[in-house]
């Protein structure tokens, strides 16, 4: 009978999930700032990962990282090298060991990256945050930790930008000045002054204002002065008002201010140069995208699965989406398509009436996770106690003159630095319960106001939201005139499901809800 069933294999559906049941793993370590190098955090991460591998009898095939890597982008060389290795090696890598999830990534691509790795059969394993990602609850917990990391980044950025704005309002430029300027410090005061290169930059403005020559001619003329500037750099310089004493910065939110730095040219010369650039359409030109066609390339024609383009009909200034496949005839008014997209968002919109219940459920889940994390950090705390004991013993030996002052200072600094690094990591790895309410409110607000946020956003913001909601994009069915999702953000789907679940409960059931049992489930 079993052999007969094999004849029907060609009619089977779905794909078997890839899961490598072996001991092969790689280690990934990272610090997000040069200062962390001094705290031996890389050494602590590597040691923690190696001990975990030894404890669980894992075979370490490769170690990636070990250098400063910025968290601003996932185009990190070591990170990309690791991904390439996992995809191409003959070994079936089942796990990426990281000291904590934030050591893997703290940006908005984290969830997408973990999902792509999971499709390859590789799981991200945090040695200090035990999460079982073989079940939906564990995957959700991991994704929420990634979201919290990104939210924490946004909070830090907000605080940082507030400080930058304060200094800018005082006329103080607080980042690296453009070419032609140096930062000098005298009597504890920082000044931004012109350097020798400012002379040739001033000539660039003069050539443009007086001779009206193209940027390419300016580049060639600079070569005769033994100065090499790319066309992009020339355009950036000629359009930067910093040279005439004006400061512009994202933190100023569209405002312009007078700076305290030295001026290279007059405001009149700067405006003259940029008038010429606009008049002759020289320099770099950027096309402003319109939010009326924000679904272009993100949305595919369901008939041929090709990305649809967006365009504005000049005759009536009306936006349309169109499939470029010959004879497909999938062409639709953009405003009508956006209504269908709004209907799609409505399916995943969280009911505000259950926000408090969902908030309690998520808080209960993460309170339980936090308790588990603390239990597993007992070994790390024991290490801190051991280091403290070593420092005390070191002091005793120094007082008894068993060791020299040089050795005492050397090893005391070593032990204290290692202890400080571990303490910092413990603080980072622990979910701060004081911030938990802020984290949950942030994510709930997003899920409750999906439609409103998308409708009020500009082109770039809409694109970011769309890709967060539906990582694989959406399709448009012209016959049924509806938008359909290909893949939905799992966290968004989970919160939406919770909303739907609570909607089925009676008032009595809601009154007697046991959130701790739901968390365990």
- The answer to whether 114 touches 146, Cβ cutoff 8 Å, is yes
Query: 427 — phi, psi (to 5°)?
Result: -65, -40
Q: What is the Cα–Cα distance from 112 to 122, expressed in whole angstroms? A: 13
SS3 at position 190: strand
Q: Are 519 and 365 in contact (CB under 8 A)?
A: yes
> E-strand spans in 24-164?
24-31, 59-68, 95-98, 123-126
Counting beta carbons within 10 angstroms of the beta carbon of residue 447, is it exposed (0 to 12), middle (13 to 18) or buried (19 or more)? buried
What is the DSSP annotation of 239-281?
T-GGGGTEEE-GGGTT-EEE-SSPPSS-HHHHHHHHHHHHHHT
The answer to whether 479 and 464 are in contact (CB under 8 A) is no
Q: Which pLDDT score, from 0 to 100, does residue 152 have?
A: 67
- What lies within 8 Å, CB to CB, of 179 at 6+ separation is 197, 201, 233, 237
List C-alpha distances in Å: 469 to 292, 465, 473, 491: 19, 6, 9, 9
Give CA–CA dist 173/187, Å, rounded.
Answer: 18
Residue 343, Cα to own-chain centre: how many angstroms? Answer: 28
Integer Cα distance of 97 and 262 in angstroms: 51
Q: What is the dihedral of CA 245, 249, 251, 254, to 10 degrees?
A: 90
Q: How far apart are CA 502 and CA 515, in angstroms?
A: 12
CA–CA distances in Å: residue 379 to residues 47, 127, 128, 129:
13, 12, 10, 13
Q: CA 134, CA 230: separation in Å to the nearest integer?
A: 52
Task: For residue 55, give the nearest of 289, 297, 376 by alpha carbon.
Answer: 376
Whether the CB-CB separation of 193 and 181 falls below 8 Å is answered with: yes
Q: Within 13 A of 259's CA, how many CA atoms are on the CB side?
A: 26
Residues ≥6 apart with Cβ < 8 Å to 98: 27, 28, 29, 45, 49, 104, 124, 125, 126, 127
**In whole angstroms, what is the distance from residue 338 CA to residue 313 CA?**
17
Cβ within 8 Å of residue 409, ≥6 positions away: none
What pTM was computed for the model?
A: 0.41
Q: How far apart are the first and last CA of the chain?
A: 38
Structure token digits, residue 133: 């990602």
Q: For every one of its 521 residues, what pLDDT tens digit does the chain have, with 9 covering 90 and above?
A: 556 666 566 666 655 555 556 789 999 887 765 444 444 567 888 888 888 998 888 999 999 876 655 544 444 677 788 888 888 888 888 888 888 776 666 555 666 777 777 777 888 888 887 776 666 766 776 777 776 666 766 777 777 777 777 777 887 888 888 988 998 887 778 888 888 888 999 999 988 888 888 888 889 888 888 888 899 999 899 999 999 988 888 877 778 888 888 889 988 888 888 887 776 554 444 456 788 999 988 899 998 888 888 888 877 788 999 988 888 878 889 999 999 999 998 888 888 888 888 888 877 777 776 665 666 666 777 788 888 888 888 888 877 778 887 887 888 888 888 887 777 666 655 555 556 777 778 778 888 888 888 888 888 888 888 888 888 889 999 889 999 998 888 777 878 888 888 888 887 777 776 655 554 34
Helix, strand and coil percent figures for the chain, each rounded to 5 = 55, 15, 30
Question: Which ranges in 180-329 belong to alpha helices (H)?
Answer: 198-206, 215-224, 231-238, 267-280
pLDDT of res. 521: 41
Residue 475: helix, strand or coil by DSSP? strand
Closest CA to 497 of 510, 507, 488, 508: 488
Token pair of 238 as six digits: 């000629």
């Amino acid at each position: 009978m079993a052999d007969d069933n094999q004849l029907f294999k060609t009619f089977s559906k779905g794909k078997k999930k890839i899961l490598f049941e072996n001991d092969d793993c790689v280690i990934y370590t990272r610090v997000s700032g040069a200062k962390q190098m001094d705290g031996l955090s890389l050494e602590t991460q590597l040691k923690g990962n190696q001990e975990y591998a030894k404890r669980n009898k894992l075979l370490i095939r490769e170690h990636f990282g070990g250098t400063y890597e910025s968290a601003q982008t996932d185009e990190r060389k070591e990170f990309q090298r690791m991904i390439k290795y996992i995809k191409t090696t003959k070994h079936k890598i089942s796990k990426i060991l990281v000291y904590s999830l934030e050591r893997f990534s703290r940006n908005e691509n984290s969830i997408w990256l973990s999902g792509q790795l999971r499709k390859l059969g590789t799981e991200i394993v945090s040695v200090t945050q035990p999460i079982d990602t073989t079940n939906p609850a564990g995957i959700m917990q991991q994704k929420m930790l990634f979201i919290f990391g990104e939210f924490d980044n946004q909070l830090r950025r907000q605080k940082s930008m507030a400080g930058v704005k304060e200094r800018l309002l005082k006329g103080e430029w607080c980042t690296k000045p453009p070419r032609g300027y140096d930062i000098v410090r005298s009597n504890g005061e920082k000044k931004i002054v012109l350097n020798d290169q400012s002379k040739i930059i001033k000539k660039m403005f003069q050539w443009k204002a007086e001779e009206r020559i193209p940027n390419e001619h300016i580049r060639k003329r600079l070569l005769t002065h033994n100065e090499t500037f790319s066309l992009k750099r020339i355009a950036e310089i000629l359009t930067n008002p910093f040279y005439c004493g004006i400061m512009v910065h994202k933190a100023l939110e569209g405002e312009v201010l007078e700076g305290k730095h030295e001026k290279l040219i007059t405001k009149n010369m700067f405006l003259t140069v940029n008038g010429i650039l606009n008049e002759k359409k020289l320099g770099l030109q950027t096309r402003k995208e319109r939010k009326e066609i924000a679904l272009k390339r993100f949305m595919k024609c369901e008939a041929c699965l090709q990305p649809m383009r967006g365009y504005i009909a000049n005759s009536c200034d009306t936006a349309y989406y169109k499939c470029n496949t010959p004879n497909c005839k999938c062409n639709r008014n953009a405003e009508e398509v956006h209504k269908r997209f709004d209907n799609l968002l409505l399916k995943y919109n969280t009911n505000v009436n259950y926000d408090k219940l969902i908030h309690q459920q998520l808080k209960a889940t993460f309170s339980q996770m936090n308790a588990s994390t603390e239990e597993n950090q007992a070994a790390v705390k024991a290490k801190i106690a051991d280091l403290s004991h070593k420092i005390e013993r070191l002091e005793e030996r120094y007082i008894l003159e068993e060791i020299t002052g040089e050795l005492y200072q050397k090893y005391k600094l070593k032990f204290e630095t290692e202890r400080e690094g571990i303490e910092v990591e413990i603080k980072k790895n622990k979910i701060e319960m004081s911030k938990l309410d802020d984290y949950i409110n942030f994510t709930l607000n997003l899920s409750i106001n999906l439609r409103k946020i998308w409708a009020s956003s500009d082109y770039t913001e809409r694109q970011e939201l769309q890709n967060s909601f539906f990582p694989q994009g959406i399709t448009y069915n012209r016959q049924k005139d509806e938008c359909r999702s290909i893949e939905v953000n799992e966290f968004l789907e989970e919160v939406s499901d919770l909303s739907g679940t609570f909607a089925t409960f009676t008032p009595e059931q809601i009154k007697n809800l046991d959130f701790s049992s739901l968390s365990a489930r």
